Amino acid sequence: MGKRPVTLCTAQWADMPFEALCELAADMGYDGLEIACWGNNLNLDKAYEDDAYVQSIKSSLEKHGLVCKALATHIIGQCVGDAPDPRLNNFAPAHLADKPEAIREWGIGQMKKAAVVAKKLGVHVITGFTGSPIWKYVYSFPQTTEAMVEEGFDEIVRLWTPILDEFAKNDVVFALEVHPGEIAFDYYSTEKLLKKFEHRKEFGLNFDPSHLLWQGVTPHLFLSDFRDRIYHVHMKDAAVTLDGRSGLLGSHIDFGSLRRGWNFRSLGHGDVNFEEIIRVLNDMGYDGPLSVEWEDSGMDRVDGATEAADFVRQADFKASDIRFDEAISN
């Protein structure tokens, strides 16, 4: 197995015009992009309706020697499954502000369009979030009943099944990024959700070790156990820096503050053991992209993402095609 393509998730770069971002990504050393479907990167409505616009996206990628291996729909998918939350006003069109049901319907429609656009672009994987109607119950006080939890999982299945049906029509799969704030945020909630979806093939996982690490879940064990559902991989680091005052829940302190008990870090500056991850990926036979989702409030993003691309190339290594002791056998 050769080395995997190194791509850049553009979610944190959606402020840049797409052509300029392609030029920068190539200059930083990336092979391709995981394109965010918001901001200045990719307009889903326009791509759904206008094939010439889709061709312009392809042309920009080709001009800079880049490929697109996935679309990112995180903020859109969040609008599908969340309980009414005023923070979703930041994700949906302005005219839908404070209209939670309208925001949800918009999210569902956009996710269905994403499947069509992915097919137009020749992309098979869409990464993202599902949202969660029960995230506010993560700490069970006031008391949370088992029925409330089951209802939350069932609601996600109900809301996402028509979307996944559209994915199936377009030969596209959804890769949920297991993440706090989602219905599946750790090991056992992921296990439960996959069972709820009856392991339908259109619903899989975007493996991101950073969100697991600070929760105390060992990333490479998660990766190995859910290997048959891993459709995409994020390369992202985090550091846990508990000092006796800070806690894992973050104290309502924004990312980047050194008072926090953990922070996302640029690749190689945190605690994730990427060697074990690469060894599991090799064992799985995963040959998809290693997508850098760059998030580090303490470092310049161009410097950090440039260094991150090089870090991934150094961290990735081929699986062996021989046993190490074959040369000494009779």
Is residue 183 a contact partner of residue 81, using CB atoms and an 8 Å limit? yes
Looking at residue 27, what is its pLDDT? 98
Indicate if the alpha-carbon torsion angle 147, 148, 149, 150 is positive or negative: positive
Average pLDDT over residues 230-247: 98
pLDDT value at residue 323: 79
Is residue 135 a part of any domain in this protein? yes
Confidence of residue 3 (pLDDT cuts 50, 70, 90): confident
Taking 70 as the threshold, does the pLDDT of residue 53 lie above it? Answer: yes
Q: What is the pLDDT of residue 321?
A: 82
Which one, of 163, 36, 192, lies nearest residue 104 by Cα? 163
Q: What total number of domains does the chain contain? A: 1
- Specify if 249 maps to a domain: no
**Predicted pLDDT at 2:** 45
Q: Does residue 104 belong to any structural domain of this protein? A: yes
Contacts of 191 (CB under 8 A, 6+ apart): none
User: Taking 50 as the threshold, does the pLDDT of residue 191 lie above it?
Assistant: yes
In this structure, is residue 264 part of a structural domain? no
Average pLDDT of the residues in 134-158: 97
Domain limits at 93? 6-238+273-328
Burial class (CB in 10 A: 0-12, 13-18, 19+), 115: buried
Mean predicted confidence (pLDDT) in 88-98:
97
Mean pLDDT of the chain: 96
d(CA 107, CA 104): 5
- Candidates 159, 177, 186, 149; CA nearest to 79 is 159
Residue 325 in this model has a pLDDT that exceeds 50: yes
Domain membership flag for residue 247: no
Tell me what pLDDT residue 246 has. Answer: 97
Residue 194 reports pLDDT greater than 90: yes
Reduced to 3 states (helix: H, G, I; strand: E, B; else coil), residue 90 is helix
Q: Is the pLDDT of residue 285 over 50?
A: yes
- What confidence score (pLDDT) does residue 18 get? 98
pLDDT-derived band at 320 (thresholds 50, 70, 90) equals confident
Full DSSP string of 94-135 = GGGTT-HHHHHHHHHHHHHHHHHHHHHHT--EEEE----TTG
Question: For residue 330, is pLDDT > 50?
Answer: yes
Span 131-159, average pLDDT: 97
* CATH number, residue 207: 3.20.20.150
Q: Which of 50, 63, 76 is nearest to 21 (CA)?
A: 63
- Per the domain annotation, does 163 fall within a domain? yes
Which of the four pLDDT bands, split at 50, 70 and 90, describes residue 196? very high
Is position 257 within any domain? no
Over 60: is that where the pLDDT of 69 sits? yes
Report pLDDT for 326. 74
263: in domain: no
| pLDDT of 4 above 60 | yes
Residue 1's pLDDT band, with cuts at 50, 70 and 90, is very low
**CA pseudo-torsion sign 90, 94, 99, 102:** negative
Nearest to 196 by CA among 178, 181, 184: 184
